[in-house]
Amino acid sequence: MSRVGIKPIRSALAGLIAVGASLVLARVHPFGDAGLYAAKGAETPILNNSQVPAEVRAILAEKCADCHSSQTRAPVYGHFAPVSWLMERDITRGRDAMNLTLWDRYSVDRQQTLAAKIAHETNAHEMPLPQYRLIHWNARVNDAETRTLTSWAHASSGSSGSELNRQAGEGNPVRGKELFEKRCSGCHSLTQNRQGPGLQGVYGRVSGSVADYAYSQTLKKSRIAWDETSLEQWLTDPDAFLPGNNMDFLVPKLQERQDIIGYLRQTSGR
């Protein structure tokens, strides 16, 4: 056989070996086993028994469930390493952050925090992840869907008018710290920027002034001095107080707002 004929055979053989090695290595799970190809029985639709509105459930099931539930639709390319490794990494991280299959097991506070994060990250085009959107074009969240998620997040944080108008006592920093950790820490830290800016020293600070955080232009230009009055208005309804900002969470109960403000004031040394 001529050398010309041997080269294609060698190339084909090398290709088969590479494919075989990739299939074998896909059985290794360096970032955790997401169970993508395990046998599954009939599964209840995502959030089927929850209080989440049907139109929101449809968006979450279509755009988020592949990484944020146990009902991942495993693609063919997920059989091959190292693509399978990267995919499992994103899925295991996604489930750790929020698992829609377990939604009804989360506390109300946790659900409200997650709803706010969903709205914030879709508004900022941070979710779904860029590498996921690159392959799954249908996963892109359009403007109408973003508005639906934002409205849901606001409604999830809401309460009755009577609760909004009750007389509150003086803010309690101890209760405020507990509320901050339950309701705010999903997006905020005192000392680090997350989805929201670090809030150490926010009481008495001018809005949009943390140098290394990417604020909305609306908030950056507003130059609001954060004090008892402005924080109260902000936490009551950010959109009403400053339309066009990126805050997707509100605190409907007056006493809880006062407690959180008391905590922020204390951590600011005021």
pLDDT band at 229, cuts 50/70/90? very high
Predicted pLDDT at 163:
44
Predicted pLDDT at 41:
59
| C-alpha distance from residue 213 to each of 174, 220, 235 (Å) | 28, 10, 20
Identity of the residue numbered 71: Q
pLDDT band at 222, cuts 50/70/90? very high
Report the alpha-carbon distance of residue 15 to residue 17 in Å, rounded.
5
Q: Which residues of the chain form CATH 1.10.760.10?
A: 161-267
Residues of the chain with pLDDT > 90, as a percent, come to 34
Contact 71, 65 (CB under 8 A): yes
Predicted pLDDT at 72:
86
3-state SS, 137-183, equals HHHCCCHHHHHHHHHHHHHHCCCCHHHHHCCCCCCCHHHHHHHHHHH
Report the alpha-carbon distance of residue 43 to residue 54 in Å, rounded.
18
10-24, 80-94, 146-160, 229-243, range with greatest mean pLDDT:
229-243
Q: Which residue has the tokens 């409205």?
A: 151
Cis peptide before 128 (omega within 30 of 0): yes
Predicted pLDDT at 22:
63
pTM of the complete model: 0.67
Average pLDDT (152-174) is 66
Q: Convert the pLDDT of each residue in 53-94 to its tens digit.
A: 999 999 999 999 989 998 888 777 777 878 888 888 988 999
Report the alpha-carbon distance of residue 175 to residue 263 in Å, rounded.
8
Q: Convert the pLDDT of each residue in 47-57 to its tens digit.
A: 888 889 999 99
Average pLDDT (210-239) is 91
What does pLDDT average to over the chain? 83
Predicted pLDDT at 160:
41
Report the alpha-carbon distance of residue 168 to residue 251 in Å, rounded.
13
Report the alpha-carbon distance of residue 34 to residue 67 in Å, rounded.
10
Q: CATH code for 161-267?
A: 1.10.760.10
Q: Which of 75-84, 88-97, 118-127, 222-231 has the lowest mean pLDDT?
A: 75-84
Q: Convert the pLDDT of each residue in 180-208 to its tens digit.
A: 998 898 889 999 998 889 999 999 999 99
